A = this chain, B = another copy of it.
Amino acid sequence: MVGTGRPTAHERGRAESEERGALPRPLRERLARYHQIATRAGELGQATLSSASLAGMLGIDDTLVRKDLAAAGIAGRPKVGFATRDILCRLDDLLGLGDSNQAILIGCGHLGGAILNYAGFAKCGLKVVGVFDSDHAKVGRTVGGHEVLPMEKCRSVIEVFQVALAILTVPTSAAQELVDWLVGRGIRAIWNFAPVDLRLPPGVVVRNENLAVGLAQLIHSLKASRGGQTAAAEGGRNP
């Protein structure tokens, strides 16, 4: 940066996103999708994937796929394609999915229970080491193989396991206060399912899943396409 004035929004944005090798968000989202497709292809015994086939599945240009994979450091072979194994290994590494990612889940309602019962997140290295609820009526139950613990034990679990990631499936009204407390205890990443945009201090990352916003967009697409022939695929991104 040159000059003495305060940094512009562009300068701030760039400084934040470029440190420590963070990827631009659109690229990162596509990489996560390539990873998912490659996982399935691997299970089906498919040894290679062409940029055209990946592009077809995502509804994007095949040039973009090649650019993305090149940016991720994955090389293909002309006339053959990209090795499924290369894609998986490199993206596991780049996205950090190979490690064991320990997490706690707070709020053991229907959605919390659904997440605990879904086995697929293990492919991202997710390992839930504690499940909590402030409702003492729920404490002691077993959900998805996890015993529900009282909130009083949350602090020590975070410390003992050095947990960095918290999954929040609590009511909207409780979310912001809880997040502030969690950040104070050392939590560095929040997967938030409450329909509210949480504000966080620098150094903490959040993903607001916000299903209601997704539904609103889908409904708009539906209305807009009525009578037309719009073929639109809505992705699953969360800002």
Chain A residues with a Cβ under 8 A of chain B: 9, 16-17, 19-23, 25, 28-29, 32-33, 35-37, 40, 57-59, 61, 94-97, 101, 109-111, 113-115, 117-118, 120-121, 123-126, 164-165, 172, 188-189, 191, 195-239
Contacts and interface: CB of A to CB of B under 8 A. Distances in A.
Contact of A213 (B29, B109, B191, B201): B29
Nearest to A101: B219
B230 A22 contact: yes
Contact of A225 (B36, B172, B188, B212): B188
A166 B104 CA distance: 32
A206 to B, nearest CB: 5
Contacts of A202: 229-231
B218 A236 contact: no
Given A95-B216, A95-B223, A165-B222, 5 more contacts: A58-B197, A124-B215, A206-B233, A207-B214, A236-B239
Contacts of A29: 213, 217, 239
B220 A23 contact: yes
A232 B96 CA distance: 17
A233 B123 contact: no
**Most chain B beta-carbon neighbours within 10 Å: one of A16, A29, A202, A218:** A218
Given A214-B191, A214-B236, A230 B19 contact: yes
